[in-house]
Structure 1
Amino acid sequence: MMSRVLLVNMPFSNLRWPNLGLSLLKAALLRRGIACDVAYLNFDFAERVGLDAYTWIADAFAFVLGGERLFAKHYFAHLPDDQRYWQEVLLPADAGLTDQDRRDFDSIGRHVEPFLNQATQSIHWSSYRIVGFASSFQQTMPSMCLARRIKQSLPQVCIVFGGAACEGPMGVELLRRFPVVDYVFLGEADETFPCVAEQILSGQPVRVPAGVVGREQLTELQATPQRLFAPLTLPLTASANDGSEAVEPPGGSAAWSAEASRVEDLDRLPYPDFDDYFSRWRQSPLRRDIEPLLFFETSRGCWWGEKHHCLFCGLNGATLRYRSKSPDRAVEELAWLVRRYGVRRACAADNILDHRYFRTFLPGLRQARIGLEFVYEMKTNLTRRQVTELLEAGLRAAQLGIETFSTPILRQIRKGATAIHNLQALKWFSEAGIEVKWNLLYGFPGEDPAEYARLAELLPLLVHLHPPLAVGRVRLDRFSPYFDDPEAWGMVRVRPHRAFPFVYPFSPEALARLAYYFEFDYADGRNVLDYAAPVVAAAESWQRLQGTVALRQFDREDGVLILTDTRPCATALQHRLTGLDRAIYLWCDAAKTIEQLQGLAASSGWASPGPAHDASVQRTLERLLADRLMVCVDQRYFSLAVREPRTVCRPLAESRR
């Protein structure tokens, strides 16, 4: 009897941790007495192609839809050829790709059909009434390929989709274009999926809640006159002869709202069930090369974005409103996961750390003594003490929203931080031995090109710190304020990313509703590389120097501060600072204005207040700036050297993708 539910995690989801969404859904179903399994077929594909090849596609090709393209060729009969994809999509994204890379990419593609055959044959699909697919990390076309095979042999099986690629208009369009799909969950499905699953399994007529769209709801969605890129409403008339498999809704029906669902009280959620992941990991021949991490969440949405939505950020979509778990619940859940799975390394799914957790969750985590080491994403406007508290609680890697070291640009894009905040966080985390993941972005519409001359001078002074993980032009993402009104921000000719026609043979209008990534031109016609190229070059040089240079400080007991400098920009291998020079350098561990420094010098007894005293402070600052040991940003002076001895943490190999 078909009564069970199977949730499927296809390539190219990360192999190092469980799929949190599917694990929460399984736990929610079990809470209702519904049997559920999770199939980690991403392992099956990785075992075929090899771990390095799998990771290469998952990471290097994420934004050019490389994994989607490999599977789309096995779904659609007619797609633009591989040569065009290579020339028009891959090479513009990475000019360093070689002919050998192309052969490797093609070789991976030859494993798709055998993998699908194996997946079709290795699972008893007839045992399941509902099969659900996660669609987030290049998983849409891998999932569609398998879903079609299931539907062709077992039409009675209900196929459902959910995940980041299904939110808002993307999910509705996906349902329209792929008849194998029965229901799409547009938002957080923790509460809606068990409700729908229970009705399907009981044989009742399904009354779908808000945030769920089925075949019957397509007839209720009202065509709107909204513009093509409206964030949450979309026209539903398909273009003729666009190569799709669209199911046309009849006209004249009542309007129906497809508002994304959202969980308001995260404490009501069950603990995630990772049993299937760890069982599959233990069976895998790749397990020796994959150290598993727990994947957990303490919040959803973004508390900063609720107040000041960063202009380029499309994360959270229609579920931006911030909700966090109570500190006790968060600590108890982590302790339970550690006990159950015996793993003490973890990655948070949160887009931002709850600023209240410094007083609640972090102390609770320390007191629990569960020995957890974890990764978190957070803002940079932290104090040195807060960095220490994070380290003591177990933080070993941080994703920081740095983006740039220009305060005018940061203010323009609503980051809620300054260049000094970013510099301090980068130094203090590096000093603590906490791995830092961050991106350097350029090309924000309306930015002042003059800022890039200063950035080009600044970056070579920072090469002893963690370099950017990636350097690139800002991208236009769905759900961002830029996307909601591109022309108002100086963006014109907005169109889906050039990779989408190589995955989906649909009309431009359909692609505009399916796409998450978009391209644009600047209304003022600027070529950003005309002024950003030196910054890009400096950042790439920084990446090459990672781990090979240092700027360290050691404060001796005799009152001599020793600075050792092996950066290419160094003026000397060693500097010895004493007296006022030493004091000023140490005071500027956290950035100070010259007025603050003059006040500190006077109150510390270095000299009596007055012009002569002020001049001595000024001369010291000028010497430290000339020796590139310090920077002056936004009229604040900041010492660049990292303290010795520094904490050295065992690094987490990667942060959340």
Structure 2
Amino acid sequence: MDLALISMPWAIFNRPSIQLGCLKAYLGQELQTCRVTCFYPFLDIAAAIGFDNYRLIAETPWAAEALYCGLLFPKMQKAAGTVFSRTLKRIVTTDYPRLLEILRLQHDQWLEQQDFSQCSLIGFSVCFSQLPASLYAARDIRKKWPGIPIVFGGSTCTPAMGRSLLKIFPEIDFIITGEGERALKELVLHCTSQEPLSCPEIISHHEKTGNIQAAGCGEIVNLDDLPLPDYSDYFQHIRQKNLGFFPVLPVEFSRGCWWNKCTFCNLNLQWHGYRFKHCQQMTAEINELAQKYQCLDFTFTDNALPVKESTLFFEAMAGDSRDIRFFAEIRTLKSRSVYTRYCKGGLNSVQIGIEALSDSLLGRMCKGTTVMDNVAAMKFSQEAGMTLDGNLILEFPGSTAAEVEQTLAALDKVFPFHPLSAAAFFLGHGSPVSCSPEKYGITTITQHPTNKKLYPPEILANLDMLIKSYRGDRTLQTRLWQPVRKKIAVWQEFHARRKNPSVPALSFRDGGSFLLIRQELPDLPTLHHRLKGLSRKIYLACEEPITKKELLEIFTQVTKEQLNTFLAGLEQKNIIFCSGDSCLALAIQSP
């Protein structure tokens, strides 16, 4: 039996699809008679429009969706073109109409080269920004091979979204709404031998009545049992087309999120609980993948790494002589030394869920962190040698003017560190905010206005989209957060214009009995501070978060009033951060 699995634009071009790689390996292990071929049309698109153009578009979700919506719904091309131009503020060397021509031509050429006539099933992995492209391809595949069933799966295919897709797009026969391995195996057996469906993660049209029925295969409990992802088709495509880049290999340490409480998040709708691999298994996978595909760069696809096992893993990798490098999304770590150990183990790029710089706002987001945790994470990651990416969520429903002021004050303190990105709050389907909107002052949930420019109204009215809009205090929030948005822009420009970014913008050199602190500021001369004797000792005692009570216990010769006066002076200079009773020195020792 033959099975085709397809990953459409706008998947990141220099990574094979971990979804396709895992599914191919699993089916190859479980169904020896099943021949799975993975297709990566996005590679040809990237080569045709240029890798830089592709990357810019893929990093701008609305612009990415606007392109294939223009092809899928011709009457929406004009409106979709305005979305493309408005959201893609960075320069793309090809305009919207020409890009549509290239995408159409590449699609037709790719389809002409395929022969799916022997396939028992064709599957699409549908994740971020891949829905319009997948619908466009599925429609044409159905026209050319009308008898072959088509299945959609992936993070976009929640139960509600899946049901709405089945109602509107007849070219889709099945939706897999959760973890894919066992469900796809059952679906393959159903399509080849007519075995009945019993898996609730598979949604289909009932053959006779046309009603949609939900048929749980159950999730894989022990992730250590999963085979190594199979990326052979991706690398074969690269070799055949002689594409000139070194791929980054996606790997997964865990599925789900061990925290899973953030009120804005809807990234774990497809998972039930949290599962992870053990250190030995992860190490073995990295070793085998690096050797098999001759790659040294890896990206963890986890929403949150398992703390204990990942610590053991990076400690083990620190003893490896190869220059293997990792990217991962992590939660803030409590210990300065852990950042250093992770970096020594190859974790040189991280995305940390900062999200807010106001304690009360972090509380309503249920982040389980404090502003001090976030500021420390920004300092410690840079100190360890990591590149940190993170977001500040602006315009969270119910945010107060006081929380905006707290954010602005904290931004003054973190200016020396790698800047965060401003991310306007969006209402995600299935998130705690969307499930209890009244708690956040939301009166009505509506379709996102951008989707109204991409999808015909008769279709959008029946689609349960993952990104929605709402009525409540949106206008107020937009106005409140404007100063923060402007300050982040200044922060980003300051770091973009720094002449020597390898040197921390706020650094110190230790002279034994004194400290020399160097402080770069935007549009101002560089400042220099000298701390001598006891002042030096107190500042160094604050290299990790420490309470004022603990400082007074260490430095018994200092009174509470003297300590508060000293710390207030350092705070005014923005070289220390104090929150409540805790303090953190912000300067990083010069390399």
Q: Does the pair score TM above 0.5?
A: yes
Q: Structure 1 residues 54, 169: closer, same or farther in 2, change over 3 A?
A: same
CA contact (8 A) 2:505 2:518 kept: yes
Distance 2:408 2:86 in 1: 24
Q: State which of 148, 159, 163 in structure 2 corresponds to 1:172.
A: 163
Against the structure 1 CA distance between its residues 558 and 500, is the aligned structure 2 distance closer, same or farther, given a 3 Å change threshold? Answer: closer
1:617 paired with 2:563, answer: yes
1:556-585 Cα shifts (integer Å, max 9, x gaps): 343221111111387862111111111111
CA contact (8 A) 1:500 1:511 kept: no
The number of residues matched between the two structures is 584
Taking a change above 3 Å as real, the CA distance of residues 425 and 21 of structure 1, as seen in their structure-2 partners, is same
Structure 1 stretch displaced more, 123-132 or 373-382? 123-132
Cα distance between partner residues in 1 of 2:220 and 2:467: 26
> Which of structure 1's runs of 4+ aligned residues deviate more than 4 A?
89-94, 100-103, 256-261, 367-371, 508-512, 569-572
Match of residue 250, structure 2, among 295, 300, 303? 295
Structure 2 counterpart of 1:589, from 543, 562, 567: 543
**Residues 211-243 of structure 1: per-residue CA shift (max 9 Å, x gap):** 011222895xxxxxxxxxxxxxxxxxxxxxxxx
Q: Does 1:148 align with 2:105?
A: no
**Aligned residue in 1 for 2:297:** 345
The alpha-carbon deviation at position 301 of structure 1 amounts to 0.5
Distance 1:471 1:218 in 2: 50
Match of 2:180 in 1: 189
1:277, distance to aligned residue in structure 2 (A): 1.3
Distance 1:199 1:511, change over 3 A: closer
Say which of 389, 394, 409 aligns to 1:442: 394
Contact 2:311 2:338 in 1 (8 A): no
Change (3 A) 1:281 1:101: closer
Matched, 1:362 2:314: yes
CA contact (8 A) 2:64 2:84 kept: no
Report the alpha carbon displacement of residue 481 of structure 1 after superposing the two structures with TM: 0.3
SS in 2 for 1:499: helix
Q: Would the aligned equivalents of 2:223 and 2:277 in 1 still touch at CA under 8 Å?
A: yes
1:511 positional shift: 4.3
Question: 1:187 touches 1:260 (CA, 8 Å); kept in 2?
Answer: no
Shift of residue 332 of structure 1?
A: 1.4
1:546 aligns with 2:495: yes
Report the CA distance between 1:372 and its aligned residue.
Answer: 2.5
1:20 to 18, 21, 27: 18
Report the counterpart of residue 323 of structure 1 in structure 2: 275
Worse-superposed segment, 487-496 or 427-436: 487-496
Equivalent position amino acid for 1:211 in 2: E
Report the 3-state secondary structure (helix = DSSP H, G, I; strand = E; otherwise coil) of the residue aligned with 2:129: coil
2:459 aligned with 1:500 = no
Corresponding position of 1:278: 235
What is the match of residue 204 of structure 2?
214
Q: Following the alignment from structure 1 to structure 2, what is the Cα–Cα distance between the partners of residues 628 and 199? A: 65
Indicate if the aligned counterparts of 1:6 and 1:131 stay in contact, CA closer than 8 A.
Answer: yes
Give the secondary structure class of the aligned counterpart of 1:124: coil
Contact between 2:571 and 2:577, CA under 8 Å: does it hold in 1? Answer: yes
Distance 1:257 1:178 in 2: 17
Q: Given the superposition, is the C-alpha separation of residues 544 and 112 from structure 1 closer, same or farther in structure 2, using an over 3 Å criterion? A: same
Alignment check: 8 A CA contact 2:66 2:81 kept: no
Query: Are 2:98 and 1:107 equivalent residues in the alignment?
Result: yes
The match for 1:452 is 404
Q: Is the 8 A contact 2:71 2:100 kept in 1?
A: no
Q: Does 1:76 align with 2:78?
A: no
Contact 1:58 1:67 in 2 (8 A): yes
Work out whether residues 553 and 561 of structure 1, in 8 Å CA contact, stay in contact via their aligned partners in 2: no
Distance 2:495 2:236 in 1: 37
- Is the aligned partner of 1:559 residue 2:513? yes
1:476 aligns with 2:427: yes
SS of the equivalent of 2:366 reads: coil
TM-score by length of 1: 0.83
Listed as ranges, the matches of 1:46-61 within 5 Å are 46-60=46-60
Moved more, 550-559 or 581-590: 550-559
CA contact (8 A) 1:570 1:627 kept: no
Matched, 1:377 2:329: yes
AA matched with 2:13: L
For structure 2, the residue ranges without an aligned partner over 5 or more in a row are none
Match for 2:241: what amino acid? S
The CA distance in 2 between the partners of 1:350 and 1:140, in whole Å, is 21
428-437 or 117-126: bigger deviation: 117-126
Cα distance, 1:322 vs structure 2: 0.7
- Going from structure 1 to structure 2, the CA distance change for 1:75 and 1:573 (only over 3 Å counts) comes to closer
How far the C-alpha of 1:416 sits from its partner, in A, is 0.6
Q: 1:458 to 1:420 in 2, by over 3 A?
A: same
Query: Does the 8 A contact of 2:282 with 2:313 survive in 1?
Result: yes
Q: Partner of 2:347 in structure 1?
A: 395
Q: Do the aligned partners of 2:179 and 2:270 also contact (CA within 8 Å) in 1?
A: no
Distance of 2:521 and 2:184 partners within structure 1: 55
User: In the TM superposition, what whole-angstrom CA distance separates every residue of 1:506-544 from its partner, at most 9, and x where no partner exists?
Assistant: 54774452x11011122x576113322111111111111
Q: CA deviation at 1:594?
A: 2.1
What residue is the counterpart of 1:134 in the other structure?
A: 125
Cα distance change, pair 150–37 in 1 and its aligned pair in 2 (3 A):
same
Please tell me the residue identity of whatever aligns with 1:337.
L
Task: Within 5 Å, give how 1:110-125 maps onto structure 2.
Answer: 110-125=101-116
Taking structure 1 as reference, are residues 258 and 601 closer, same or farther at Cα in structure 2, changes over 3 Å only?
A: farther
Say which of 189, 193, 211 aligns to 1:249: 211
Q: Deviations over 1:441-476 (max 9, x none)?
A: 1222222211212322331332221101x2032111
Q: State the AA in 2 paired with 1:475.
A: F
Question: 1:29 touches 1:194 (CA, 8 Å); kept in 2?
Answer: yes
Q: Which shows bigger deviation, 152-161 or 431-440?
A: 152-161
After superposition, the C-alpha distances for 1:169-223 in whole angstroms (9 at most, x for unaligned) are: 111211221111221111111111122213323x33442522011222895xxxx
SS of residue in 2 equivalent to 1:273 = coil
Residue 198 of structure 2 contacts residue 217 of structure 2 at CA under 8 Å; is this kept in 1? no
Tell me the residue number matched to 2:554.
600
For the Cα contact (< 8 Å) 2:71–2:104, is it kept in 1? yes
Amino acid at match of 1:324: F
Which structure has more relative contact order (CA 8 Å, sep 6+)? It is 1
Per-residue displacement from partner, 1:151-179 (whole Å, max 9, x unpaired)?
22222222111111112111121122111
Contact 2:448–2:467, Cα closer than 8 Å, also in 1: yes
Asked if 1:519 corresponds to 2:510, the answer is no
Range moving further from structure 2, 210-219 or 583-592: 210-219
Secondary structure in 2 matching 1:214? strand
Structure 1 spans left out of the alignment, 5+ residues:
220-247, 251-255, 646-657
From 1, 6, 9, the equivalent of 1:8 is 6
Name the CA shift for 1:506/1:213 in 2 (closer, same or farther; >3 Å).
farther
User: Do the aligned residues in 2 keep the contact of 1:441 with 1:471 (CA within 8 Å)?
Assistant: yes
Q: CA deviation at 1:258?
A: 5.6
Question: Which residue number corresponds to residue 227 of structure 1?
Answer: none
Deviations 1:113-165 (A, max 9, x none): 21121011112222423221111132222222222222222222221111111
Q: CA, structure 1 residues 569+626, in 2 after alignment: closer, same or farther (shift >3 Å)?
A: farther
1:228 aligned partner: none
Greater mean deviation of Cα atoms: 268-277 or 439-448 = 439-448
C-alpha deviation, 1:263, in angstroms: 2.7
Could you tell me which residue of structure 1 aligns to residue 35 of structure 2? Answer: 35
Measured at CA, do residues 71 and 455 of structure 1 come closer, stay the same or move farther in structure 2, by a change above 3 Å? Answer: closer
Structure 1 residue 358 displacement after superposition? 5.2
Q: Distance in 2 between matches of 1:50 and 1:572?
A: 41
Kindly provide the amino acid, as one letter, of the partner of residue 622 in structure 1. A
- Cα 1:137–1:622 change in 2 (3 A) is closer
- SS of residue matched to 1:22: helix
CA contact (8 A) 1:295 1:349 kept: yes
- Residues 162/297 of structure 1: CA separation in 2 closer, same or farther (3 Å cut): same
